[in-house]
Amino acid sequence: MQPTVLKIGLFGIGLDAYWEQFEGLQQRLESYLGIVETRIAAIHGEVVNAGLVDTVDKAFAAGSLFRREEVDLIFLYVTTYALSSTVLPAVQRTKVPVIILNLAPGSHIDYTTFNAMDDRTRMTGEWLAWCSACPVPEIANVFKRTGIPFHQITGRLQEEDPCWNEIREWVQAAKVAHTMANNRLGCLGHYYSGMLDIYTDLTQQYAAFGGHMELLEVDELSALRKDVSEKEISERVALFKELFEVQADCLETELQRAARTSVALDRLVARYKLGSMAYYYKGTGNMDNEDTMSSIILGNSLLTANGVPVAGEYEIKNAQAMKIMDSFDAGGSFTEYYAMDFEDDVVLMGHDGPGHLAIAEGKTKVRPLVVYHGKVGKGLSVEMSVKHGPVTLLSVVETKEGRLLLLVAEAESVPGPILQIGNTNSRYRFPSGARNFINSWNSYGPAHHCAIGIGHIASKIEKLGKLLDVKVVLVAT
């Protein structure tokens, strides 16, 4: 799926004039840089360390190293005062986001011990080992004036400092940005006619996330179904019965029909190296295609649970949102408003079509439907609720100006009665109440679909938006 892995650039900065003046300072700062490298590498193993940059020549060399290694993100560790002229060449031509690490070696200077030193030179050297905050305004000024995107983390080298969680989230966000940049999204079929909110500018999707979009014909999937063997069908039916709670009223012939399509879907995904997909097709007038598209839900649910999220109704924007959520290991299930429960103050949300098995509360049920509401055909569908506990909603919104924004809200998936209609179905409670959430969320004009994932990850999505230069709106819930 991804031809490369995320690479993180790292370098420290200092001033070469200090080393002869203050004995041991350079070695001390290099040891601090080593601590930073070790801890970042524990989060993500691919770290390109350019060392302690203290001259313009070393800055140019660091920049060349980062370009050669194709790093996706640079952590700039400020160890002590350094000239901005020794910083800019290391990042200017790399053209990736920079995170300034303003990390002190401890909570505070031991003032009593410090002031008791009888050597002013030693005192200055000790102070320089603590003055990481000193050049940060200078660096920020130069980055702003030269148009280099940067972000700051201020904290301590100690592992228990909250800054390390920030660093972890930046790395996770960078991984997701890298995944999206290398993702191939399959667009199978066509838009649901008249559903104007889901139409999107594909080139704008490229501009925001990168990646590739493959426009696919349903005929190709139908052709692949014809090559599926009876053995493969039998094995896939057995897998369905293992992973799903297949209800007693599901016909074996329907399971076999869904199994044939599921195997064909896997082949289509492999053929085009897809990492996500959006699909919809009326299927009228062509029995092969109608047979294909009316038996697609179980296979698409398996794909969604295995890192290839699939959005129904050709909702490409939501396929992107689902991929983001899944790349954060949060899941990412296709959903929309169902109804409001004013007595329990919850919003019922779900959708027909595939669900994300990995974030289901219990085992996902398979139920037969005699009609797919608003769609052609009949067949098997899935019914599940998202795991009870914290959840995050994400919508990729296309604005009037043609730009994208990420709309985010955090809530709780709570137990209670759901509609047993063979669809995904959950109850969500919002801190501000169902009524206030609905009004606030809708005010930003999202499409009626969104992605739901487990955990509260708004802070990670905010960092992703900064890395992609895509606006993030956190709805007050």
Q: Which helix (H) or strand (E) holds 439?
A: helix 434-442
223-268 pLDDT, tens per residue?
999 999 999 999 999 999 999 999 999 999 999 999 999 999 999 9
Is the pLDDT reported for residue 1 higher than 50? Answer: no
Instruction: State in words which class domain 8-176 has.
Output: alpha beta
Closest of 31, 39, 29 to residue 161, by C-alpha:
39
Question: Among residues of the chain, what percentage have pLDDT more than 70?
Answer: 97
pLDDT at position 351 is 86
Closest of 38, 36, 108 to residue 76, by C-alpha:
36
pLDDT at position 375 is 58
Averaged pLDDT for residues 336-347: 93
Residue 75 pairs with which residues in a beta bridge? Answer: 10, 99
Q: How many residues does the chain have?
A: 477
CB neighbour list of residue 238: distance below 8 Å, 6 or more residues apart: none
What are the residue boundaries of the structural domains of the chain, listed by start? Answer: 8-176, 183-474
pLDDT band for position 184 (cuts 50, 70, 90): very high
Is the pLDDT reported for residue 18 higher than 90? Answer: yes
More confident residue, 73 or 383: 73
pLDDT at position 299 is 96
Is the pLDDT reported for residue 373 higher than 60? Answer: no
Q: Which of 2-16, 61-75, 202-216, 459-473 is the least confident region? A: 2-16
265-286 pLDDT, tens per residue?
999 999 999 999 999 998 777 8
pLDDT at position 334 is 92
Task: Please state, in angstroms and rounded to a whole number, the distance separating the CA atoms of residues 319 and 312.
Answer: 8
pLDDT at position 285 is 77
Question: Among residues of the chain, what percentage have pLDDT more than 90?
Answer: 86
Is the pLDDT reported for residue 441 higher than 50? Answer: yes
- Specify whether the CB–CB gap between 430 and 363 falls below 8 A: no
The arrangement of secondary structure in 183-474, i.e. its CATH architecture, is Alpha-Beta Barrel (3.20)
Task: Please state, in angstroms and rounded to a whole number, the distance separating the CA atoms of residues 270 and 267.
Answer: 5
pLDDT at position 250 is 92
pLDDT at position 372 is 64
- Specify whether the CB–CB gap between 394 and 449 falls below 8 A: no
pLDDT at position 421 is 78
pLDDT at position 208 is 97
Averaged pLDDT for residues 86-101: 96
